[in-house]
Amino acid sequence: MTEASLVSRFDAVLSDLDGVVYAGPHAIPGAVEALQRLESVGVRLGYVTNNASRTPAQVAAHLRELGAPAEDHQVVSSSQAAGDLLAELLAPGSRVMITGSAALAHEIELVGLTPVHSAKEKPVAVVQGFNPEIAWKDLAEASYVVAAGALWVATNTDMSIPQARGIAPGNGTLVAAVASATGKQPRVAGKPEAPLFHSAARRLKSERPIVVGDRLDTDILGGNRAGFATAAVLTGVDTLESILAARSSERPSYLLADLTELYEPYPEIVEEDSTFRCGQATAEVQDGLITVSGSEKDLDAWRAACAAWWAINPDATEATSPRLEWLEN
């Protein structure tokens, strides 16, 4: 690692999983090697996941099967973040009703709270996380407690989850059922909210982490809300086009092809008279048109285009629709 490498600016990498480390059952090319290299350059590694149905140990075991470095403590889940959040807000030993998995109940126990499963046990809070076994009666029980005024925390609000047979309802749909029944909204611990990232940084004793993810609406938004540097990689959901068009809160600090680029110098972007230069490429905006001098295949050209477009749209609350003109050098 040289002083100029991007990763040398940080003391930890907080990495998303699907779309960054693996895609389906297979590791993304170069990802495992990039993660293995972090230890040799003195940078800590944590994994952040919204999955509240598996324990960190189960997630770590899966990562090790792929060859990635992963001790159990390096995985931080939305269940852990929910436990941390509840522990900050409740007295030790307080009863918390579990609407979710045994893994979620275990995390609540670990922070000194008492998991219960019925409104009859007089819980002062409800924590809701994904569990494929959740039934109507579980949602009804949660609704009774929430409607009575209990603190309500959701591990995450992902509306869908990928399954072998297709896309299925996620925890967000189950949370929405309780919200519809009660007219209330939960505090959210997982992505895209900040608590998960703050929990991960605390567990790693990191002061300067960088959040790496493939989704703007969860990884990048959550990392930005936490006040951390963020890097979007192009190995998953979001694309160069969607990143360029992103609303302000979802714009990454850095744009990378994949995890291997953490070890490369990140090019400086320089502005001169409203023209933005990155490497050999330049970009400028006039009348809503981004004119880029450079190759559409050159990531530096896209970095310049993002800088130029974002400079004239600093407060975009919705995704934009930029027009691009490419002038090959």
> Residue 52: what pLDDT?
78
Active site residue: 18, 158, 219, 238, which one? Answer: 18
- SS3 track for the chain: CCCCEHHHHCCEEEECCECCCEECCEECCCHHHHHHHHHHHCCEEEEEECCCCCCHHHHHHHHHHCCCCCCHHHEEEHHHHHHHHHHHHCCCCCEEEEECCHHHHHHHHHCCCEEECCHHHCCCEEEECCCCCCCHHHHHHHHHHHHCCCEEEECCCCCEEEECCEEEECHHHHHHHHHHHHCCCCEECCCCCCHHHHHHHHHHCCCCEEEEECCHHHHHHHHHHCCCEEEEECCCCCCHHHHHCCCHHHCCCEEECCHHHHHCECCCEEEECCEEEECCEEEEEECCEEEEECCCCCHHHHHHHHHHHHHHCCCCCCCCCCEEEEECC
Q: 223-275 pLDDT, tens per residue?
A: 999 999 999 999 998 999 999 999 999 999 999 999 999 999 999 999 999 99
Active site residue: 16, 138, 219, 238, which one? Answer: 16
Tell me if 256 sits within 8 A of 275, measured CB to CB.
Answer: no
> Residue 329: what pLDDT?
66
Give yes or no: 18 in active site.
yes
Q: How far apart, in whole angstroms, are the C-alpha atoms of residue 171 and residue 82?
A: 14
Give yes or no: 258 in active site.
no
Q: How far apart, in whole angstroms, are the C-alpha atoms of residue 275 and residue 327?
A: 14
Average pLDDT of the chain is 95
- Residue 125 makes CB contacts below 8 A (sequence gap 6+) with 86, 89, 90, 94, 95, 96, 97, 150, 151, 152, 153
Specify the pTM.
Answer: 0.90
Q: 82-137 pLDDT, tens per residue?
A: 999 999 999 999 999 999 999 999 999 999 999 999 999 999 999 999 999 999 99
Residue 177 confidence (pLDDT) above 80: yes
Residue 61 confidence (pLDDT) above 50: yes
> Residue 46: what pLDDT?
98
